[in-house]
A and B are shown apart, each in its own frame.
Chain A
Amino acid sequence: MARISLNQTFLGTMFVVVSLFLSGCTSSANNRYWGKTVAPTDNVLRYISGSEPESLDPAFGTGQPEARVYMALYEGLLEYHPKTMEPIPAIAERWELSPDGTEYIFHLRKNAKFSNGDPITAKDFVYTFRRALSPELASRNANLGYYIKYSEAYNSGNMFVKDGDGQFLLAKDFVKETEKKASDTPEAEPETKTESAAANFGAATEFQTFINAPERLVVKGSEKERAKQLEADPKLKAAVEGKELVPVTAENLGVEAVDDYTLRLKLYQPAPYFVQLIPHQLFRVVHQPSIERFGKDWQRVGNIVGSGAFMLSVHRPYDELVVVKNPNYWDAPNVRLDAIEFYPLEESTTMMNLYKGGSIDSVYNHIVPPAWLDEIRQYKSEYQDHPEVANEYYSLSVKKPPMDNLKVRQALSLAIDRYALAQFRKTPKPLSNFTPDGIFPKYDEARRKVFGERLKAENISVEEWSKQRLFDPEKARRLMTEAGYPVVKAGNGWICPTFPVDKVTLNYNTAESNKAVAEFNQAQWKQNLGITIPLKNMEWKTFLPFRSGVQYEGIARNAWVGDYMDPFTFLNLFYSPQNDGATGWHDPKYDALLDAANKELDEQKRLEMLATAEFQVLQEQLVIPLVTQATNWIKKPYVKGLYPNPGTLHAWKFVYLETDPNKWDTNADNLMKESDPQVDEQIRRVMATMQK
């Protein structure tokens, strides 16, 4: 027997080896599913979450791989909607915004518990917020909380100034000076409305009186920096001289537990989009007693106490992280999975192999390698490609010649055929604006209106204008010629002999896909303008300071994934002097427009102001927009409630595995439109408390 089976094995192997060479890759094209797909037998989701999480502390880890795990282990006041990523109730049942837009009240549900059974109260959130913003924790995400009053001052270790009679100096008395302060943060806002005369929002407390009192003046905490700050401002120096300096403490932060189940946040200024940030990992509630008891070991299995629908059961770094259903979770009866196995992997081919072999149920976004796309796309029930809250663009060094010439920048942008680029990349969509298209529907509407008004003078419709911006080689050549670098016909192509190619390089961080795009665009410029721009690639961490310091000459590859669901997360990149757009461009008028927009309580008006700002970015051609990114991911057809939302971040409690093959997904393109009665009912139930 043994010998026969051995022979069969050998023959089988030989057959396969031979067919490998004979038939190439026609393996499974006629199957309905890609690779091994069998109905799940246990209620466990096996998901690849990206690289190994840096930390299991939600206030500390900054990336998406971490966020995916945090969303299982921790819950915040609000959670991301599984389809739209808009905030929906979580530990808070509902929330209110004060009429002046600077105060939020969150009403917590009374049955929320930590994984060890301790109740979750507003005090836990106060601890969570204070901890996240403390200078000692040194969270890299801390600035996401800077809209909360005195949070930046606290996080920076700054000081209040108290004069002899116990009164604190106020910021408004030093408005001109504070404006000069090189800061992009709301703290520098002079016109903050902090009149306590306005009616109280929610219960009146001593803390509310303090936090609503006119904003106190803060000066730098470190002596060296303070000396510099005072030196630059004689009036401030005179006022501070001899006064007592009082450190800004956690207790000064605009976060208050009004009672056990009411949390109040005070912002510096109206910021209607701030609620979009509340589901962010930075604000997910953590358990004070266990953190204090175990110190740096609090995140270990056995010590860790979470607040999410799942709790940690196994953590083998670089191998797997298993979470199991948390019986103490307030909504436990509606958590569908028994467990999730997260596998931290980075190699996309390895992930695809695991997926094809049936060892995993889903991967995170951007995983299907370009070479596999044509095959995998046919599997409509598994492959999905939805727009993301992310773009890709080239930053331009607008302060250095020849990029200081607007026409050169415009010409380079117009000479790229974005339709062809998108087709070449296979998954993304061509982008002529800066903020991704199709992600913020209301903003798209506002943008159409504002751009339309602005373009009336030029007698062109928005659609036509956008279309031309995607590719217009004629105009590109004209502009380049007008810029002083004539493009002339030579044979079948074009040449532009005077363009200083020695002063322009296309820089990108080393990655196969970046290289492919760079070469594509290089060819476009050569073909349409007759300019050959040299390419240069660099290791990621080397590239970062090179780009952000605008040390590059010409062009640098850039991309941005939104932190929250609001166009401001993109437009903020040109808010000076942070210079996240890495162009070196700075315009106080642009900053003022964004400030004004964020204070605007009327949503429509606000979006129109943001659109006006974006129009300026586009007109000045600070960057060359390339594409709106797309999810490009796969999941097995039996995984339900896992949606290709704009950030590919999933609220795990809505996810379930369908054992009946008749109910499996048949066309993933329709996932966002189709209703899944089970998930929809669950979402409806969660959102019902909002109407109270």
Chain B
Amino acid sequence: MLSYIIRRLIIIIPMALLVVTVTWILIRMAPGSFYSSEKKLPPAVEANIKKKYGLDKPVLQQYGILMGNIIRGDFGDSLKYEGQSVNEIIRRHFPYSATIGILAYLLALAIGLTAGIVAALKQNSAFDYGSMSLAMLGLSVPNFVLGPILVLIFSLWLFWLPPARWGGASSLILPVITLAAIYAAYIARLTRAGMLEVMRSDYIRTARAKGLSEWKVLLKHAVRGGLIPVVSFTGPALAALLAGAVVVEKVFAIPGLGNIFIQSIFNRDEPLTLGIVAFLSILIMVFNLLVDVSYAFLDPRIRYE
């Protein structure tokens, strides 16, 4: 088990560097530059900028310098936001995305698991149909629709909650609900399907035959197995949530990493894009590892050697 984890951890670094390299090539292939704007720059001004940022050097040399710095953990300064380092920007904006993301996922888990388990236990009941229809609705309403509707009701008509911007717990409510809706729906459906499958399996029948109470069967045996699909979903979902939900950040004007990532691409802010790509790729690989490891605890049939 331990050697498996170490092997997986070691491979993360070269994988991240590979991702960064591919991203760098893609950025360099895109037309336009960080300094291009409506007004064409005189050649002298353009030359000054290229010199200042080392863009006058041969491309391979630029790549060498870049990689050298990245290996030392230094992504350099943003090209768009003068004097701010990429590491600083990620450190500053990641917590916003992470807060919203974690809260949304917890909310989604609470709603989704409860609804899913209850629906599975009371299959074909009114609750089952009702909650699954709601889940279907949650899946089909995109958050750029749900967000504004919530704002309209709770901020502009009732004036209960702020319509946007970061500041205090009350400002978190709408974005967290908006973000959680789709995940709650997905988790509810996954849980229900997983639970239904598990409840019919032999080991549950064995557990019941042993004379265990229905609660014990449910909590000790069924939920563990029924949750495996939810756990596989959690890895990528949580990574995506932590990385920032672009739409929600835009609608609610939250200074999270997701929006900054997208903007950095539009701005051709190469160091910032590369820094965030590296950060996210590591994040995703770590979460996938965590998910794989947790299978072993949830399902006794899975063993890593």
- Partner-B contacts on A (CB < 8 A): 12-13, 16-17, 20, 27, 35-36, 52, 54-55, 57, 60-62, 135-136, 138-140, 142-143, 146, 152, 155-157, 184-185, 222, 296-297, 299, 316-320, 343, 345-347, 349-350, 353-354, 356-359, 539-546, 548, 559-561, 578-580
Chain B, 11-58, CB within 8 A of any chain A CB: 30-33, 35-42, 44-45, 47-49, 51-52
Give B145 Cβ to nearest chain A Cβ, in Å. Answer: 12
Q: Does B156 interact with chain A (Cβ within 8 Å)?
A: yes
B36 near A316 (CB under 8 angstroms)? no
Residues of A within 8 A of B251 (CB): 347, 349-350
Q: Does B122 interact with chain A (Cβ within 8 Å)?
A: no
- CA A222 to CA B80, docked complex, whole Å: 27
Most chain A beta carbons < 10 A, residue from B153, B155, B268: B155
Give A560 Cβ to nearest chain B Cβ, in Å. Answer: 7
B45 near A13 (CB under 8 angstroms)? no
Residues of A within 8 A of B44 (CB): 135, 143, 152, 155-157
- CA A52 to CA B155, docked complex, whole Å: 25
A343 near B42 (CB under 8 angstroms)? no
- CA A541 to CA B267, docked complex, whole Å: 8
Residues of B within 8 A of A545 (CB): 31-32, 36
- CA A544 to CA B37, docked complex, whole Å: 7
Residues of B within 8 A of A354 (CB): 163-165, 253
B164 near A16 (CB under 8 angstroms)? no
Q: Does B288 interact with chain A (Cβ within 8 Å)?
A: no
Residues of B within 8 A of A580 (CB): 39-40
Residue contacts A-B, CB under 8 angstroms, 19 given: A143-B44, A155-B45, A296-B82, A299-B82, A317-B84, A318-B255, A318-B259, A343-B253, A345-B253, A353-B163, A357-B155, A359-B162, A542-B32, A544-B37, A545-B31, A546-B31, A548-B40, A559-B38, A578-B42
Chain B, 236-264, CB within 8 A of any chain A CB: 250-253, 255, 259-260
Q: What is the chain A residue whose CB lies nearest that of B260?
A: A318
A20 near B152 (CB under 8 angstroms)? yes
B153 near A16 (CB under 8 angstroms)? yes
- B91-113 vs A, Cβ < 8 Å mask (1 yes, 0 no): 01100000000000000000000
Q: What is the chain A residue whose CB lies nearest that of B158?
A: A16
Q: Which residue of A17, A62, A359 contacts B163 across the interface (Cβ within 8 Å)?
A: A359
A578-B40 in contact given A55-B83, A317-B255, A545-B31 (Cβ < 8 Å): yes
Q: Does B181 interact with chain A (Cβ within 8 Å)?
A: no
Q: Which residue of B32, B52, B153 contacts A544 across the interface (Cβ within 8 Å)?
A: B32
A138 near B42 (CB under 8 angstroms)? no
A52-B40 in contact given A138-B49, A541-B31 (Cβ < 8 Å): no
Q: What is the chain A residue whose CB lies nearest that of B149?
A: A20
Q: Does B148 interact with chain A (Cβ within 8 Å)?
A: yes
Q: Does B157 interact with chain A (Cβ within 8 Å)?
A: yes
- Partner-A contacts on B (CB < 8 A): 30-33, 35-42, 44-45, 47-49, 51-52, 77, 80-84, 89, 92-93, 148-149, 151-153, 155-159, 162-166, 250-253, 255, 259-260, 266-268
Most chain A beta carbons < 10 A, residue from B38, B252, B259: B38
- CA A152 to CA B80, docked complex, whole Å: 24
A140 near B156 (CB under 8 angstroms)? no
Most chain B beta carbons < 10 A, residue from A157, A343, A544, A578: A544
Residues of B within 8 A of A57 (CB): 82-83
Q: What is the chain B residue whose CB lies nearest that of A220?
A: B44
A140 near B165 (CB under 8 angstroms)? no
- CA A136 to CA B83, docked complex, whole Å: 14
Residues of B within 8 A of A135 (CB): 44, 48, 51
A297-B35 in contact given A317-B255, A354-B163 (Cβ < 8 Å): no
Given contacts A13-B153, A13-B158, A318-B255, 5 further A-B contacts (CB under 8 A): A16-B157, A20-B149, A20-B152, A138-B48, A359-B165
A156-B47 in contact given A318-B255, A357-B162 (Cβ < 8 Å): yes
Q: What is the chain B residue whose CB lies nearest that of A349?
A: B148
Residues of A within 8 A of B49 (CB): 138, 140
A541 near B30 (CB under 8 angstroms)? yes
Give A464 Cβ to nearest chain B Cβ, in Å. Answer: 34
A54-B165 in contact given A20-B152, A546-B31 (Cβ < 8 Å): no
A55 near B163 (CB under 8 angstroms)? no
- CA A399 to CA B50, docked complex, whole Å: 31
Residues of B within 8 A of A62 (CB): 37
Residues of A within 8 A of B93 (CB): 317-318
Q: What is the chain A residue whose CB lies nearest that of B249?
A: A318
A353-B40 in contact given A52-B81, A345-B253 (Cβ < 8 Å): no
Residues of A within 8 A of B36 (CB): 541, 544-545
Q: Which residue of A60, A155, A359, A541 contacts B32 across the interface (Cβ within 8 Å)?
A: A541
Give A568 Cβ to nearest chain B Cβ, in Å. Answer: 14
Give A44 Cβ to nearest chain B Cβ, in Å. Answer: 15
Residues of B within 8 A of A541 (CB): 30-33, 36, 266-268
Give B83 Cβ to nearest chain A Cβ, in Å. Answer: 4
Most chain A beta carbons < 10 A, residue from B93, B251, B255: B255
Residues of B within 8 A of A222 (CB): 47
Residues of B within 8 A of A20 (CB): 149, 152-153
B255 near A142 (CB under 8 angstroms)? no
A138-B51 in contact given A319-B255, A356-B156 (Cβ < 8 Å): yes
- CA A409 to CA B41, docked complex, whole Å: 28
A542 near B252 (CB under 8 angstroms)? no
- CA A511 to CA B32, docked complex, whole Å: 17
A55 near B82 (CB under 8 angstroms)? yes
B156 near A296 (CB under 8 angstroms)? no
- CA A54 to CA B156, docked complex, whole Å: 32
Q: Which residue of B45, B89, B158, B268 contacts A142 across the interface (Cβ within 8 Å)?
A: B45
A350 near B92 (CB under 8 angstroms)? no
- CA A119 to CA B209, docked complex, whole Å: 90
Q: What is the chain B residue whose CB lies nearest that of A546?
A: B31
